[in-house]
Amino acid sequence: MKLVVLVSGTGSNLRALADAIDGSRCGAHIAAVVSDKRSAKALSFATDRGIPTHVVPLRRGDDRDAWNRTLEQTVAGYDPELVVLAGFMRVLGEPLVRRFARRIVNVHPALLPSFPGVDAPSRAIAAGVRVSGCTVHLVDEGVDTGPILAQAAVPVLPTDDRDSLHERIRAQEHALLPAVVDWISRGILSLDPAPALHAEASADACLVSPRLVPPSGNEPQ
């Protein structure tokens, strides 16, 4: 399955995905990495691995509609079967979301629908929750509002600060995101017309609670 991966930051999820692909744990191929930030460390990782990269920068005062169109054309140029947001810190505009409807997934560092948006680990600590985690979900035009595909839970320890919690969550993301991409590539998880898991999927390294759709198509009680 051909992927385009969108990144803004360090790219640890991109690395986890690339490592899973190289280790035959994820049946996909990264055709390109696209960033809104020239300085994203993820870009140098991609270049080192021989993956084509593109930067579509958005500076203050830029025309957002034009940026959305350029981003859509850049991604569409690779004709990906799935677009993966791996730490892409921009809300996608209509051109990309429409063109790749039900074919864009995002990884978020909280158990959605709790704590959508930025600084999720800090807000989980501030709220006093005892359990947080990560979510892989389909992307729509909202902020972390698309249908949930899979989640992994992470305890919030009394000693946690934002960084320690986020690191523990990241470790789960690194297992969950490649697992979900692999399920999609193998047809275990279909996304269209709505997410449906067709067989028990296992992600060894993490606690996953997918919603299994029985053969009848009825939701479990």
5, 43, 83, 86: which one contacts ligand GRF (CB under 6 A)? 86
User: Shortest distance, CB of residue 221 to ligand GRF, whole angstroms?
Assistant: 31
Instruction: Note whether 108 binds ligand GRF by CB under 6 A.
Output: yes
1, 2, 9, 74: which one contacts ligand GRF (CB under 6 A)? 9
Q: Which of 108, 137, 166, 174 is catalytic?
A: 108
Instruction: Note whether 170 binds ligand GRF by CB under 6 A.
Output: yes
Contact 162, 1 (CB under 8 A): no
Q: How far is CA 80 from the centre of its chain?
A: 15
Size of the site for ligand GRF (CB under 6 A): 13
Stretch that binds ligand GRF, among 19-27, 49-57, 59-67, 105-113 (CB under 6 A): 105-113
SS3 content of the chain, % helix, strand, coil (to 5): 30, 20, 50
Instruction: Note whether 148 binds ligand GRF by CB under 6 A.
Output: no
80, 95, 109, 178: which one contacts ligand GRF (CB under 6 A)? 109
Q: Is 137 a catalytic residue?
A: no
User: Shortest distance, CB of residue 202 to ligand GRF, whole angstroms?
Assistant: 22
5, 6, 13, 75: which one contacts ligand GRF (CB under 6 A)? 13
Instruction: Note whether 28 binds ligand GRF by CB under 6 A.
Output: no
CA distances, 142 to each of 91, 93, 111, 137 (Å)? 8, 9, 16, 12
Single-letter amino acid code for the residue at 162: R
CA distances, 63 to each of 5, 37, 73, 74 (Å)? 23, 16, 16, 17
Stretch that binds ligand GRF, among 6-14, 97-105, 124-132, 153-161 (CB under 6 A): 6-14
Q: Which residue is nearest to ligand GRF (CB)?
A: 87
Instruction: Note whether 116 binds ligand GRF by CB under 6 A.
Output: no
Instruction: Note whether 93 binds ligand GRF by CB under 6 A.
Output: no
Kindly state the tokens that stand for 176.
């969950």
Name beta bridge partners: 113.
Answer: none
Spatial CA neighbour of 209 closest among 64, 69, 111: 111
Beta strands in the chain, from DSSP E residues, in sequence order: 2-7, 29-35, 53-55, 82-85, 104-108, 131-138, 148-155, 189-190, 196-197
Residues in contact with ligand GRF by CB under 6 A are 9-13, 86-87, 107-109, 134, 170, 173
**Catalytic residues, which ones?**
108
